[in-house]
């Protein structure tokens, strides 16, 4: 039995029921994909999953889940007998009992349960009580007249259930940043379609691994669309070359990607495009360039990492497991990259670039 906690504070009424239903459905789908069939039930602010303990790690990755505990359900009277056996696997320097009564019709208060069960454990095992910093916490939650007993709380990713906030197309490069951007969107409940522009290196296999890792945070496996980068870029590069505007290639490369992403987003009913840009992280990610890129495409572009430092991004990438995949990322030298790259271009200059593209039949 797995006890699942979710963030319920901010959500009320009908929205809350939708949240619970979607979360339960997402948990079930995620488990089924890993070959675990378990009954999933929503009761009184918790989701109970009738599945083996191993399911806990899988469930902890589902957005909307705050924490997860493998637990045993029993009548309250049976708790001492159960603990007498179950606690033999531990030998802590100190412990405490932490009770939460979700069912207020239960006759004892949380404090009374803490004291009663705490006293029993002291008598049986002689362990020291430490309410501040215990080595072992014996958790008890009273739900619908039953006691759920557990010894572990696995932290979940939090956020909102995927599928409650519509769909986005994420530009996924195989670098460190864009997988984190994709994860943050999943975490806030958006469905993600990954779009990669293949540059003919083995980045593609890294991206496939990343998509696999990210899929653990999604009820359905994430769809990966791969486009040929050079084909998408070629007409743009030749238009720039003809007009002697090659220093705009890197900005225009992003424009080409965003425009293709917008087409796909429209086809798929997605409501936004997401990139892994972080302000000033590399020479090309200036506010001016981000301005030019955004104004060139008739679709909303979201940049969830814009205000984050590299260390913060790396910390998330490590936690979610995409950092390891990145280490195999080949750093290809783009054959289109010009000698000089614009970083602080002027709006009037960029308008000329757009006009040149337009003449070549390339519009957003
Ligand atoms: P990342 O670490 O995500 O690769 P980066 O720091 O290398 O980002 P850029 O190469 O400037 O930054 O790319 C900025 C953003 O453009 C990326 O975060 C990603 O969203 C998108 N992008 C870049 N290259 C590709 C690609 N080949 N396919 C899809 N998206 C890409
Ligand atoms: Mg990159």
Whether residues 103 and 171 fall in one domain: no
Whether residues 172 and 107 fall in one domain: no
Do residue 148 and residue 246 come from a single domain? no
Per-residue pLDDT of 7-60, as tens digits, reads 866 677 778 888 999 999 999 999 999 999 989 999 888 999 999 999 999 999
Same domain, 112 and 217: no
Spell out the per-residue pLDDT of the chain, length 364, in tens.
999 999 866 677 778 888 999 999 999 999 999 999 989 999 888 999 999 999 999 999 999 999 999 999 999 999 999 999 999 999 999 999 999 999 889 999 999 999 999 999 999 999 999 999 999 999 999 999 999 999 999 999 999 999 999 999 999 998 999 999 999 999 999 999 999 999 887 788 899 999 999 999 999 999 999 999 999 999 999 999 999 999 999 999 999 999 999 999 999 999 999 999 999 988 789 999 999 999 999 999 999 999 999 999 999 999 999 999 887 766 667 788 888 888 888 999 999 999 999 999 999 8
- The residue whose CA is least distant from atom 17 of ligand 1 is 276
User: Is 241 found in the same domain as 128?
Assistant: no
Domain boundary among 155, 179, 208: 155
| CATH number, position 327 | 3.40.50.620
- Number of the ligand closest to the Cα of 197: 1
Q: Please write the tens of the pLDDT for every residue from 283-336.
A: 789 999 999 999 999 999 999 999 999 999 999 999 999 999 887 766 667 788
The token pair that represents 13 in the structure block? 């009424």
Q: Are residues 39 and 141 in the same domain?
A: yes
In this structure, the residue with its CA closest to atom 24 of ligand 1 is: 173
Same domain, 138 and 177: no
Report the residue among 169, 177, 178, 322 best suited for mutation to probe ligand 1: largest number of ligand atoms under 8 A from its CB: 178
149 and 176 together in one domain: no
197 & 146 share domain:
no
Identify which ligand lies nearest to the alpha carbon of 229: 1
> Could you tell me the residue range of the domain that residue 24 belongs to?
2-155
Q: What is the pTM of this model?
A: 0.94
Q: Are residues 192 and 103 in the same domain?
A: no
Tell me if 120 is assigned to some domain.
Answer: yes
Query: Ligand 1: which residues within 6 Å by Cβ?
Result: 171-173, 175-178, 196-197, 199, 229, 257, 275-277, 281-282, 284-285
Which CATH number belongs to the domain containing residue 105 in this structure?
3.30.2130.30
């Amino acid at each position: 039995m797995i006890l699942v906690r979710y963030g319920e504070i901010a959500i009320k009424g009908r929205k809350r029921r939708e949240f619970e239903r979607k979360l339960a459905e997402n948990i079930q789908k995620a488990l089924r994909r890993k070959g675990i069939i378990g009954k999933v039930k929503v009761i009184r602010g918790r989701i109970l999953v009738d599945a083996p303990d191993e399911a806990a790690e899988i469930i902890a990755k589902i957005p909307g889940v705050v924490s997860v505990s493998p637990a045993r359900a029993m009548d309250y009277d049976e708790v001492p007998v159960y603990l007498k056996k179950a606690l033999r696997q531990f030998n802590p320097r100190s412990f405490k009992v932490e009770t939460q009564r979700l069912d207020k019709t239960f006759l004892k208060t949380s404090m009374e349960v803490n004291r009663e069960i705490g006293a029993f454990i002291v008598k049986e095992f002689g362990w020291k009580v430490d309410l501040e910093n215990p080595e072992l916490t014996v958790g008890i939650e009273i739900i619908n007249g039953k006691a759920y007993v557990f010894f572990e709380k696995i932290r979940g990713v939090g956020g909102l259930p995927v599928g409650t906030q519509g769909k986005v197309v994420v530009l996924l490069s195989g670098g460190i940043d864009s997988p984190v951007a994709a994860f943050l969107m999943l975490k806030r409940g958006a469905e993600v379609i990954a779009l990669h522009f293949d540059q003919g290196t083995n980045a593609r296999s890294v991206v496939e691994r990343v998509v696999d890792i990210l899929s653990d945070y999604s009820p359905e496996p994430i769809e990966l669309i791969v486009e040929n980068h050079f084909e998408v870029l070629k007409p743009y590069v030749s238009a720039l070359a003809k007009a002697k505007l090659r220093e705009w290639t890197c900005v225009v490369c992003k424009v080409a990607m965003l425009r293709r992403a917008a087409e796909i987003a429209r086809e798929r009913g997605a409501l936004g495009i997401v990139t892994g840009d972080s302000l000033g992280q590399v020479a090309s990610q200036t506010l001016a360039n981000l301005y030019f890129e955004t104004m060139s495409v008739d679709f909303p572009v979201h940049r969830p990492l814009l205000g984050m430092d590299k260390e913060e991004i790396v910390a998330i990438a490590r936690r979610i497991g995409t950092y390891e995949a990145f280490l195999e990322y080949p750093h290809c030298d783009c054959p289109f990259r010009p000698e000089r790259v614009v970083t602080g271009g002027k709006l009037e200059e960029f308008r000329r670039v757009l006009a040149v593209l337009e003449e070549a039949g390339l519009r957003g």
